[in-house]
Chain A
Amino acid sequence: MSDLQSTRSPTTAELTIATPEGVLFRLPLAGVAPRLYAMLFDAAIVLGTVNGLGWLIYAIFAKAPGFGAMFITLAEFAIGFAYGALMEGYWNGQTIGKRLFHLRVIDQTGLPLRMEQAWVRNLMRVFDALPLAYLVGGVSVLCSPLRQRFGDRVAGTVVVRETPLPGPGEESWTRQKYNSFMNYPAVAMRLRRAATPELASLIQDALRRRNELAPYARREIYRELAAYLQSEVASFPDELVEMLSDEQYLINAVGALFGDQRLSKL
């Protein structure tokens, strides 16, 4: 468990749910910035709607602008509160802004949001918005382990991140058609038996993060890993190793460790 936690950034807050069947799963919680962007986007939608409505109402009440102003003031007020509550209540915890920024409001037990929760958390904005620019709400989010503003605390809700994930397809670096290590099945088998799960996962993770590493760091890490495997775990013939880059060496090694079915048949 500690190994798993160490693979995540320590600044990422998560909601951990334990189901009645004993299944544990985690949902990443949204921070202040994406929530702020989503809120600004929603505010722009509300303002746009109110202004559009305002033009329409002024056109209808052209001879009675006072009544037009009354309708606009009331509509602006009602839309300001109802937009968030109704969108979240009927659209499974999302407004247009939240959808755009991949956020969703859910019950803190991991279940979908209920309508009364949507209303409570949105009405509580009058407090979270104090004294200006959502300072109370923002500080509350930063101080809360579940990243909740006061409205969320009262309604028992959290805002989770739902960034798009790739499907469970194969990773590109495991799809190579030819793996030269397979020409030496005995050595490959030795590699597979001698490598610990931690070492295998380390190599896999290093390859997965190839685009996140700086070129120099990537070259050094791959060189050290390849050298360690070659000298301490399983030595492939020098004439083969000399033809391979360190990265290709590791790709072949991972293919032998995880992906290639031919070794399983040996």
Chain B
Amino acid sequence: MILDLERFRAQARPRWSKLEALLSALESRPDRRLQPAEAEQLQELYAQTAADLNRVTHGALAPELRQYIERLVARAYAELYYSPPTRSKIWQPRRGLRILTEFPEAFRRQYRHFALALLITVLGSALGGFAVRYDPASVDVLLPADYLRNPGQRVDQESKGQNRHLDSAQIEAAFSAQLITHNIQVALLAAALGATFGIGTALLLFENGVLLGAVAVRYTQQGFGLFVTAWLLPHGAFEIPSILIAGQAGFYLARLLLRRPEDRDMRRAMHEWLLLVGGLALMLVWAGLMEAFFSQHHAPVLPYGLKVAVGAGELVLLTTYLLLIGRRGTIAEDHANAPLESK
């Protein structure tokens, strides 16, 4: 049967206008809750307009009209089935601070992914260390930067104060910002590379581990073990764990994507991923500040013993924070109550 479009339009236009006005009012104030009468009216208009869509789909070729009704139905559907957060939920200043307790909880829930990230980094470090120790030719490949290849030269420069910025806190401030943004970008990339089913994350962690192992062995070989520990530990105590947590987030994402879509609780999973990424970003802010303002100063200005002690203290505090802060309970209990994806 041919639909009499003009008559159809004339009859339906009042309800379309009414629905459009109601939707515009609701969309302009997303936190507004519907009154029971409004909800009933919205439901009724939605049902009628959906029926109109059905009629125009099967009764006439009217693409513009069909698109118009389709969009009305889509908007009404979104209003009916979506529960927006209330204003009180959106504007909760304290809510932002909850990341400080939720982050270590998420870390503990996903501890197996952290263990995998740690294992890959350790393997990379072992390879880098063994290569430098037993194959001197590999030094040029693994440590392209001159200051990494020749520790003696670097230590000499540091002791003469050529790289010292104690007289310029401003240069250190600018340097810290560069470090923070660069490190967060690298960590984010490791977390996002989970989308490659974890292969990219694993490669990035492995490469990072190789460099770390090669530098540690090269400096130790030439008798600068204490220097390199004092140099790297104050910021590395936060920087290296944060890269491992980025790997943890990446493997968590990879595991999630490998599941069947119907088995994923995406909302909780995204919250978990964001907690890990947010937490590691905070850690990298601290690491950047330490690297710029503290790590770059060497003996005699800052004794190596003091620097190592500060780094070790940071490591103890971080471990305590990650393992103890937040909801009380053993790792086994956390695991039992974890989101579906971590099981």
Contacts and interface: CB of A to CB of B under 8 A. Distances in A.
A60 to B, nearest CB: 14
Nearest to A113: B82
Interface string A101-127: 000001000111011110110011011
Contacts, number: 158
Nearest to B60: A201
A77 interface: yes
Chain A at the B interface: mostly helix, strand, loop or mixed?
A: helix
A116 B270 CA distance: 7
B177 A25 contact: no
Contact of B81 (A90, A111, A115, A119): A111
Given A23-B73, A25-B74, A257-B2, A116 B271 contact: yes
Contacts of B4: 258-259, 264
B67 A165 contact: yes
A119 B274 contact: yes
Given A117-B270, A155-B270, A123 B2 contact: no
Given A7-B63, A66-B168, A165 B71 contact: yes
A112 B53 CA distance: 21
B261 to A, nearest CB: 9
Contact of B61 (A7, A120, A195): A7
B12 interface: yes
A126 B185 contact: yes
B126 interface: no
Contact of A23 (B50, B84, B170): B50
Contacts of A208: 62-64
Interface in A159-198: 162, 165-170, 174, 195, 197
Interface string A229-266: 00000000000000000000000000001110100100
Interface string A138-154: 00000000000010011
A241 B77 CA distance: 49
Contact of B188 (A123, A167, A201, A205): A123
A126 B13 contact: no
B61 A205 contact: yes
Interface of B: 1-7, 9, 12-13, 16, 27, 30, 47, 50, 53-54, 57, 59-65, 67-71, 73-74, 77-78, 81-82, 84-85, 90, 168-174, 176-178, 180-181, 184-185, 188-189, 191-193, 195, 200, 253, 257, 266-267, 270-271, 273-274, 277
Given A66-B173, A174-B5, A197-B60, 18 more contacts: A17-B74, A27-B74, A66-B169, A69-B173, A72-B177, A73-B174, A73-B177, A77-B184, A90-B90, A111-B78, A112-B78, A114-B267, A116-B271, A119-B270, A168-B9, A195-B2, A205-B61, A261-B7
Interface of A: 3-4, 7-8, 17, 19, 21, 23, 25-27, 64-67, 69-74, 77, 90, 92, 106, 110-112, 114-117, 119-120, 123-124, 126-127, 150, 153-156, 162, 165-170, 174, 195, 197, 200-202, 204-205, 208, 257-259, 261, 264
